[in-house]
Amino acid sequence: MPNTKAVIIDGYVDEPACFGVPPYISPYIRYIAGALRESGFSENDIHYSTIDSIRSHPENIGNIIKRAQLVIIVAGMTVPGKYLRSTPINLREIESIFNASSGLKILGGPIRLGFSLEGGKKAETDLLDTADVSISRKDIEAFVYDVLGEKTKNPENCEHRFRTVEEIGRWAIKGAFIIKQHPDYPNVMCELETYRGCGRNQHCSFCTEPSYGSSDYRPVSDVISEVAELYEIGARFYRIGRQPDILSYHAKDKGGDIPEPDPQAILSLYKGIRNIAPQLKVLHMDNANPGTIAKYPDLCKEIFRTIVQYHTPGDVAALGMESADPGVVKANGLKAMPDEVFEAIRIINEIGRTRGNNGMPEMLPGINLVHGLMGESKKTFDLNYNFLKHVLDSDLLLRRINIRQVMAFPDTPMYGNDELVRKHKQIFLKYKEKIRKDIDFPMLQKVVPVGTILRDVKCEINDRKMSFGRQMGSYPLLTGIPACLPTGRFMDIIVTRHGHRSITGVPYPLKINTAPLQLIQELPGIGKKQAINIQRKAPFSSKDDFIKRTGNEGIIPYLDF
């Protein structure tokens, strides 16, 4: 690409209210591309690459970086996790990319708040040794735009500022084209923003969202126009994930701690998206505040009914519970007491637990727990465990339980007060293991029992004996298939076994006459000996022929002849 003037490198982002690790593309990337377009760059002037693409083919990009007028890296994991096939950028890589460039160098995204690849550590703020790199201290898209602007050519003189809702209204549309350069395109999940900033009057001790100020809702029409543009370009997978609480989109401040939800705004948003993108394959969400549900149960029920009507199944309402210890809830200004979170879980189950056409329940709650918060004691671990056990014993479903240790960021009350992270590390590890075994495992057996057919699982990685895939969506279930299958392929899978947080399955229906041994023996009730016997007797002409010659009726629903 000899004309390239700007290179955007996606080092990935993972924040409580924004995700950008493949197959996701974060809004930051699209906004920056839009800001570049508005600054006079053409689509051909802008090259986008993920850090994983650079690692696997460094030769493709070396020259582009060297000659580009502008090299922009987006990075920052404020809630780092483990990723199936992606590894976030590290500081050494950031330095080496910038060292290869002779143009303007800009680093930004959530990394502006500090850098750490692991939860439970203090985020480092002294980022780089490289002197000529500009670190955007507020919004990178606004910084890029201003640096290229008429008046400010020198990044040192450029003010760091937040972008306006009007700016991203334009940039989101102008930058949508960039998804075509994503390595997963067209199977890329577009993370959509509805607003950011916390609408509560008090804030949780660990959270960085209040640094954005009060909620700056995007107009419904802006989000729909963005989806229209992305859809036109080929996007079929969407998650409304960039907001701290979907229930509070366009909520009204009535003077209390939590603003009053506006079900009409959410209806207009979802209906508008479905109208403009009729063939979309996934429409999911992220983040629901259990405090909002506790305070406004009827309005929230209305919103959840709207979501279930217009979304696609497998959706997850991730609830930021953080702690089931009332002392910790109070000491850290958290959103809801344990009984309120329990009621939120019950409400979401009531509206969302029916199984949808992709095999997953329509919508389930997820739970986020954070450890190392102020006031935590050994009792906190018991309280959290007992809460989850009570949910399980009450036959309520949870899609996933996210447990992490707090990462303390500057300008939050937690900064400098995170000594309990280290003190409780060993208890934390044991407790986490116990939850995986005693809660996650039986919960998963209920969420997707053996014999459930999961539609459109995309195979993402493989080796000689195993492949792993996921459905496209919010918190998709990791699915192991005991065979080497081509990556990138979508297939239906029937569940045969459960792990703590993943399932094993075989392609559905299994073509028994050609299936490899390891898939046949994965079928329920079939051991290696029987699998060899079945394979030896193949081919079978029909269901009846199979039953007659093997005496096995039980696995018929899994098979194709």
In the complex, which residues of this chain contact ligand SF4 (CB under 6 A)? 198, 200, 203-204, 207, 209-210, 244, 289, 320, 335
If the CB atoms of residues 15 and 522 are measured against ligand SF4, the closer one turns out to be: 15
Could you tell me the smallest distance in angstroms from the CB atom of residue 262 to ligand SF4? 18
Could you tell me the smallest distance in angstroms from the CB atom of residue 253 to ligand SF4? 14
Q: What is the dihedral of CA 240, 242, 244, 248, to 10 degrees?
A: -50
Could you tell me the smallest distance in angstroms from the CB atom of residue 475 to ligand SF4? 18
d(CA 404, CA 414): 15
d(CA 411, CA 414): 8
If the CB atoms of residues 244 and 372 are measured against ligand SF4, the closer one turns out to be: 244
Whose CA is closest to 384, among 426, 425, 435? 435
Could you tell me the smallest distance in angstroms from the CB atom of residue 204 to ligand SF4? 3
d(CA 64, CA 552): 60
Could you tell me the smallest distance in angstroms from the CB atom of residue 241 to ligand SF4? 14
If the CB atoms of residues 136 and 289 are measured against ligand SF4, the closer one turns out to be: 289
H or E segment to which residue 368 belongs = strand 363-371
Q: Which long-range contacts (CB under 8 A, 24 or more apart) does 251-257 make?
A: 251/199, 251/215, 251/292, 253/199, 256/201, 256/295, 257/200, 257/201, 257/202, 257/291, 257/295
If the CB atoms of residues 28 and 206 are measured against ligand SF4, the closer one turns out to be: 206
Q: How many CA atoms does the CB half-sphere of 86 hold within 13 Å? A: 23
Strand partners, 260: 252
If the CB atoms of residues 24 and 206 are measured against ligand SF4, the closer one turns out to be: 206
d(CA 257, CA 270): 26
Q: What is the residue type of 412?
A: T
Residues 289 and 335: beta-carbon distance below 8 Å: yes
Could you tell me the smallest distance in angstroms from the CB atom of residue 227 to ligand SF4? 24
- Work out whether strand 467-471 and strand 490-498 pair parallel, antiparallel, or are unpaired: unpaired
Could you tell me the smallest distance in angstroms from the CB atom of residue 369 to ligand SF4? 13
Burial class (CB in 10 A: 0-12, 13-18, 19+), 296: buried
Could you tell me the smallest distance in angstroms from the CB atom of residue 200 to ligand SF4? 5
If the CB atoms of residues 172 and 334 are measured against ligand SF4, the closer one turns out to be: 334
Could you tell me the smallest distance in angstroms from the CB atom of residue 259 to ligand SF4? 11
If the CB atoms of residues 201 and 275 are measured against ligand SF4, the closer one turns out to be: 201
If the CB atoms of residues 244 and 366 are measured against ligand SF4, the closer one turns out to be: 244
Burial class (CB in 10 A: 0-12, 13-18, 19+), 514: exposed
d(CA 34, CA 538): 58
Tokens of 402: 């996210």
H or E segment to which residue 428 belongs = helix 425-435
Strand partners, 295: none
- Work out whether strand 6-15 and strand 18-20 pair parallel, antiparallel, or are unpaired: antiparallel
Could you tell me the smallest distance in angstroms from the CB atom of residue 518 to ligand SF4? 45
If the CB atoms of residues 202 and 264 are measured against ligand SF4, the closer one turns out to be: 202
Rg from Cα positions in the chain: 24
If the CB atoms of residues 103 and 410 are measured against ligand SF4, the closer one turns out to be: 410
